[in-house]
Amino acid sequence: MERVKPVSLLTRIKLSRAFTCYQYLSLLRAVNLSEMPSASTLLVLFGPLDLFMDEDVTLADAQRCWTECREELHALIHKGTAVLMVSHTPERFPDARKSWWKTMEPFVDERWSVEAGGRDFTRLTLLKN
C-alpha cells in the first residue's frame, strides 16, 4: 500500500455545506463539473434528505429539486465516484415526504443502522435491501 503524505491528502479534500435543497443541487452540479479523478474520489453526503424536508419549500419544488439531485448523483456514480450517504430514517420526515427514502434505493449497495445505546455502547447492523 502506498503511503500518502498528510499535506498531500489534505489538499485534495474539499468541504462544502448546503443550507437549502437548492444549494445542495448547485453543489452536486459543481462536483460533477469539476476535474476530480473519478477512480479515487469519495463523496460523503451527511443528511442529504434533510434539506428536502423543509416545509417552507413547496412539495412540488422539493420533488423537482430532488429529482435533479438524483440525476447528478447517478452521473457521479456512473463516472466511478464512490458515494457515502449518511441520513436519518424516514420517521423524522413530514408525512408527505417519507416515501422519498425509497427513491434513494437505486444508489444504495448496503444499508447500515447505527444505534447509540449509551455512553459506551454503539450497535452497527447491516440491513438487507
Residue 49, classified by CB atoms within 10 Å of its CB into exposed (0-12), middle (13-18) or buried (19+), is buried
**pLDDT interval class at 127 (50, 70, 90):** low
pLDDT tens-place string over residues 78-98: 888 888 877 766 676 777 777
Residue 70, classified by CB atoms within 10 Å of its CB into exposed (0-12), middle (13-18) or buried (19+), is middle
SS3 at position 28: helix
**Sole residue written with cell 452540479:** 29
pLDDT tens-place string over residues 29-53: 998 887 665 556 788 888 777 888 8
Quick check: 4 pLDDT over 90?
A: no
The least confident of 26-30, 68-72, 125-129 is: 125-129
CA angle 114, 90, 16 (to 5 degrees): 75
Quick check: 122 pLDDT over 50?
A: yes
pLDDT value for 129: 44
